[in-house]
Amino acid sequence: MQDLELTEFFPYQVRIFYRSVSDSVANIYAAKFNLSVSEWRIMAVLGSSDMFSASELVARSSLGKVNVSRAIKGLKAAGYARRDIDFEDKRRAVVRLTAEGRQVLATLIPLVKAREAELLEGLEPHEQQLLLGLMQKVKHNADRIIVDSRDTPR
Amino acid sequence: MQDLELTEFFPYQVRIFYRSVSDSVANIYAAKFNLSVSEWRIMAVLGSSDMFSASELVARSSLGKVNVSRAIKGLKAAGYARRDIDFEDKRRAVVRLTAEGRQVLATLIPLVKAREAELLEGLEPHEQQLLLGLMQKVKHNADRIIVDSRDTPR
DNA sequence: TGAAATTAGTTTCACCTGCAACTAATGTTT
DNA sequence: AAACATTAGTTGCAGGTGAAACTAATTTCA
């Protein structure tokens, strides 16, 4: 039988790479404010403008609508976000940060940016660009494959 | 408030990169044989030698012992692995693939290797090396951070 | 207008995951 | 040998996650 050395298998390497990176950042928002990944990401998006509908959040967060719905619920429960109903279209939610939520985000952003810098420590700017570019390229390949192999639309 | 553009945030980019890569491979073993990631990884390790104890599997798979325990249970239920008790040390499990499991793995390995090649399509060998090297470097940074920030051992 | 289709978002279900607590076997110490 | 500590592996519990079904509001179109 053909052998497969797990440690040399590219997707495996990507996975353990991701785990380390993800943990190092989750550490911050989870430990300090007890936020989940989804909640953190939705908060970050919410901070970039005044208000968003849930579907705009879906578009900007790479999260599914299920997850966005739950993240909003969680942020609301924590007092970090408000969720109102759009008067124009009563199906639509209008989500925005509360003052407390803005406060928390303002605390968090410098911390995660510092963490990001630590992650990239020792990489020249051109190496960082290279890394991003190569990840992009592989991601495109992967996305093409996923679409292709989905002959039966789901 | 300082702004954080999610799409330019490195850990976010890593996450969506990982998701695409992971999905493209999971597609194979999940769709064809209904295996979870953990089960797939344990199978791959099991294929590299005759038998393993559960803790050897932990060491070689980057999975926690909980997950390994459950992956073994799942593989056993699927008929792909056997789980016996070590006569020397009756706490110890002796895990190995069944004939059917070897058969499945033999089917899977060429498929996932082909998928790996598709993922890396368009990258020169030296670019592949570069990508791996940069991921390594970042991972080291991340692991150092995680250890450092764990003043209270968990 | 009113039936049918579409869209926004929520909930249910089934599964994966990790931590902590647990059981059982072995090793250590006196 | 008895008590204590350690080790191997499992299980309970408390989340997180995605697909599919669902509710409610809006749009389309006959």
Residues A34-87: tens digit of each pLDDT: 999 999 999 999 999 999 999 999 999 999 999 999 999 999 999 999 999 999
Query: What does the pLDDT average to over A18-28?
Result: 94
How high is the mean pLDDT of chain B?
Answer: 92
Residues of A in contact with B27 (CB under 8 A): 145-146, 149
- Give the pLDDT confidence of B44-92 residue by residue, as tens digits: 999 999 999 999 999 999 999 999 999 999 999 999 999 999 999 999 9
- Quote the pTM value: 0.92
Task: Tell me, yes or no, if A16 comes closer than 8 A to chain B by beta carbon.
Answer: yes
**Domain tally for chain A?**
1
Output the pLDDT for position A3.
85
Domain containing A97: what range? 6-121
Residues in chain A, how many? 154
Query: What does the pLDDT average to over A24-33?
Result: 92
Query: Would you tell me how many other CB atoms lie within 10 Å of the CB of residue B6?
Result: 19
Asked whether residue B127 falls in the same domain as residue B116, the answer is: no
Output the pLDDT for position B88.
93
- Give the pLDDT confidence of A86-131 residue by residue, as tens digits: 999 999 999 999 999 999 999 999 999 999 999 999 999 999 999 9
Is A17's CB within 8 Å of B47's CB? no
Is B9's CB within 8 Å of A116's CB? yes
Asked whether residue B145 falls in the same domain as residue B83, the answer is: no
Residues of A in contact with B138 (CB under 8 A): 17, 20-21, 119-120, 123, 131
- Give the one of A20, A112, A145 whose C-beta lies nearest to B142's C-beta: A20
Asked whether residue B64 falls in the same domain as residue B138, the answer is: no
CATH of the domain at A102: 1.10.10.10
Asked whether residue B43 falls in the same domain as residue B112, the answer is: yes
Q: Give the whole-angstrom CA distance, residue A131 versus residue B86.
A: 46
Asked whether residue B14 falls in the same domain as residue B89, the answer is: yes
What is the distance in angstroms measured between the alpha-carbon CA of B81 and the sugar C1' of C16?
20
pLDDT surpassing 60 at residue B154: no
CA A113 to chain B, closest CA, distance in angstroms equals: 8
CA triplet B74, B24, B111: central angle to 5 degrees? 70
Q: Which of A75, A6, A47 is nearest to B62 (CA)?
A: A6
Residue B1 counted as domain residue: no
Give yes or no for a contact between A97 and A89, defined as CB atoms under 8 angstroms apart.
no
Question: Tokens 């764990």 — which residue?
Answer: B150
pLDDT surpassing 60 at residue A19: yes
Dihedral angle of Cα A106, A111, A112, A117, to the nearest 10 degrees? 130
Is A120's CB within 8 Å of B141's CB? yes
